[in-house]
Structure formats: C-alpha cells, structure tokens
Amino acid sequence: MADPISELIFRVALRDRSAFAALYEATSAKLFGICLRVLKDRAEAEEVLQEAYVKVWNNASRFTVTGNSPISWLAAIARNNAIDRLRARRPETVELDEELAGADDSPDPERLVISAETGARITACLEELETRRADAVRGAYLEGYSYQELAEQFSVPLNTMRTWLRRSLISLRKCLEA
C-alpha cells in the first residue's frame, strides 16, 4: 500500500478538494515551520505557505513516487518558495552606468592590462564548459537572469539549473587557478 501522503497527492492531481484539505491538514504545520525558519517572519511565512499549496494544487500531477518521502517533495516546494521570497527582498541593484557616472573614467594602463588578461582568461575558461552551461553562467552572472528564469529558458528543473551553475563555477575556478 502506498504512503497516505502520496495517496493524497495523487487524489489532489485529480482535483479532489477533500484530499487537498486532508493534505493541508496533515502537512501544513511542518511546511509552515520550514517557511518560518527560512524567512523568520510569521506573516510572510504564512503567505509563502499559501503560495506553496497553490503550487502543490497546480503541480500535483508531476509528483512521482520515489525512494524519498512524499513530504520531501512538499518540503522542497515550500523551501524553494521561501528562498525565492527571501531573494525578492534584496534591494534592487544600482545600474552600472549610475555607479560609474562619478568615477574617473581614465583607468591607469596597468589596470587595463590586468583587466584585459583576466577577461581573456575567463572567456577561455567559459569556452571549456559545455555550451548550454556556459550560456547559463553568462545569463546568470553577466546578464542578471534569475535561476528560475534560466531554468525556464533552458527547460530544466530549478534544482538542475542550480547544480549546473554551481558545478560550472567550480570548473571556472579550477580553470582560472591553473
């Protein structure tokens, strides 16, 4: 017999509202704790929890039984929502042009040479990465795309994109240190 939480998720995938209520009743305290631990703000954690259950309702059909507990799937949704909310709190970045407006726009020759050499090394190291991963790194760190935007752009799950970027940065660091 399947796990009761898995059964509820499967019924939610069929749009069973009573199963959804039972799933909420059985799991909301744990998921709220996760949201609260990440956000450290009760009201915001409640909002994120509500958003997480909307995702569960909309994505229950994507749930598959694995060796992991179904609560792990639910916890990942809640945790990722909380982290996304935490990231959204960050202040907007100042445009680079605004920052540079007051700066001396005539760098010394030594800095120009060092900058050019570093840029060339980074470009060479990026070319050693697989093309899609190099494009993802450029998107995240040069063009400012969020991990979620990149995951959608490359049609991969968000955690896969995070793994791509983390491993790519490790490879770049090794390449630059060589």
What are the chain's domains?
A: 4-89 (1.10.1740.10), 115-177 (1.10.10.10)
Euclidean distance between CA atoms 9 and 65, whole angstroms: 10
pLDDT at 144: 76
Burial of residue 92 (number of CB atoms within 10 Å: 0-12, 13-18, 19+): exposed
Q: Which two tokens stand for residue 100?
A: 């540079």
pLDDT at 104: 55
| Predicted confidence pLDDT, tens digits, the chain (178 residues) | 468 999 999 999 999 999 999 999 999 999 999 999 989 999 999 999 999 999 999 998 888 877 678 888 999 999 999 999 988 877 655 555 555 555 555 556 666 666 667 777 888 888 888 999 989 988 887 777 888 989 999 999 999 999 999 998 899 888 888 7
Spatial CB neighbours of 87, under 8 Å, sequence gap ≥ 6 = 146
Q: So what's the pLDDT on residue 102?
A: 55
Per-residue model confidence (pLDDT) at position 44: 93
The whole-angstrom separation of Cα 49 and Cα 37 is 12
* Residue 119 contacts residue 148 (beta carbons within 8 Å): no
Yes or no: say if 88 and 47 are a contact pair by the CB < 8 Å rule: no
pLDDT of residue 68: 72
- Whole-structure pTM over 0.75, yes or no? no
- Cα 154 from Cα 19, distance rounded (Å): 34
Tell me, rounded to whole angstroms, the distance of Cα 72 from its chain centroid: 17
Give the N- to C-terminal CA distance of the chain in Å, as an integer.
54
**Closest Cα partner for 73 from 157, 166, 165?**
157
Please report the pLDDT score of residue 43 as a whole number.
Answer: 93
